[in-house]
Amino acid sequence: MNRFALGLGCAAPALAAALASVAALCSAAEAPPAESPAPAQAQPPAAWWLAKPDQTEPKILEWAARFAGTVSLVTAKTRGGHTAYAVTVTDPSLPDAGKKRLVFSQPHAHEPAATAGMMDFLAQLLEGRRLDGRDTDLARRRILAAAVLTFIPDGNPDGRSRSPEAWWDGRRHANEQFLEVAFGRGQDGKRFPRQGRWSSKEQQPERLGIVYEQISDHEYVEPNRDPDSTFFRLVRGALEKGPCGLHVDLHQTEFEKSDRNAMVVLPFMQKELPEKIQDANRLAAEAIGRAWQAAGARPTPEARPLGYGEDQIRYFRKCWGDIYRTVPHVTVEIQNNSLATPPAEQMRLMDLAIRASIDFALRD
């Protein structure tokens, strides 16, 4: 991996198709002006924003030692030498039979609020307080008694470890620069194309984007678009443990030229799915949207699939097709790299999405 320099380059087409769909879903309002002041507590102290592997791993191992039985770990070693974790929590004094099983995951190295949000939620479940020391209002004993929850806080620790920033708030990097960090630059000085898998035998970017995970001597993948990624190994392992009531994939996007800062995306093949799965997806999405609205967020008015191109659909069908047909699934998107939604707010909206997902699953 050292063959490629790391750092800023020119913009990749990384999220072009997705952002076009976001713009179509969102209102036509322009994004807040660059000089818009950020809300109070915009910058979270590093002590409670745990997003990089050298921050998350010690805390996960601490929890596993302190709460043996309640916490169980599945690990996956990366080629870059890191360990990715699937952290499962439940009340061990009660049988798992009859409990609702949910999986929360995060694949992208340039979307750290999803990791920070999951780590803070785990702290609330296990310790009864948030990472900043505030007591939680979470009904944690009820949740642990009724559910088996698996969290994959960082599906690409190799990429996250290369990130130059702990969070993205729009202060230091314009979105073009931000996407350069995410997806890299080609030898021609132009943006490096977004690809599910590519080989350094055929392409040698001048700068390697943090999105990509190296999985062999020459092959690199975007984690949620290739079944051989560390992320996918952990996700499939978690889903194979038993019937899953809901899988929530946590993401971030920029919401350029929009006044929105959150949305729920349904599977690209939503209309092809069994009716029961379609209904569960829709109802879970609505529950998350209501929670955001009640908390003063600015979600898109309706959850729906994004308008992916054929190339993207091919990746998603290969990786996700069988999962979508059997497991209710929604994708959460929170605004990234924007003064309008600073890191503390990004984390809060992740927390709300996780809470609403669990409340939805346990409502029966």
CA atoms within 13 A on the CB side of 288: 34
195 lies in some domain = yes
Residue 104 domain flag: yes
Q: What is the reported pLDDT for 300?
A: 97
Residue 5 within any structural domain of the chain: no
10 domain residue, yes or no = no
CA angle (331 as vertex; 326, 337 as ends), nearest 5: 160
35 domain residue, yes or no: no
Place of tokens 């979600």: 299
Yes or no: say if 115 and 153 are a contact pair by the CB < 8 Å rule: yes
- The tens-digit pLDDT sequence of the chain (364 residues) is 333 433 333 333 333 333 333 333 333 333 333 323 334 355 677 789 999 999 999 999 999 999 999 999 999 999 999 999 999 999 999 999 999 999 999 999 999 999 999 999 999 999 999 999 999 999 999 999 999 999 999 999 999 999 999 999 999 999 999 999 999 999 888 889 899 999 999 999 999 999 999 999 999 999 999 999 999 999 999 999 999 999 999 999 999 999 999 999 999 999 999 999 999 999 999 999 999 999 999 999 999 999 888 888 888 898 999 999 999 999 999 999 999 999 999 999 999 999 999 999 999 6
Residues spanned by the domain of 123: 16-27+40-361
The count of domains in the chain is 1
Please give the full DSSP string across 141-167, using - where no structure is assigned. HHHHHHEEEEEE--S-HHHHHT-S-S-
Token digits of residue 14: 């990384």
CATH number of the domain where residue 197 is located: 3.40.630.10
Structure pTM? 0.88
Is residue 66 a part of any domain in this protein?
A: yes
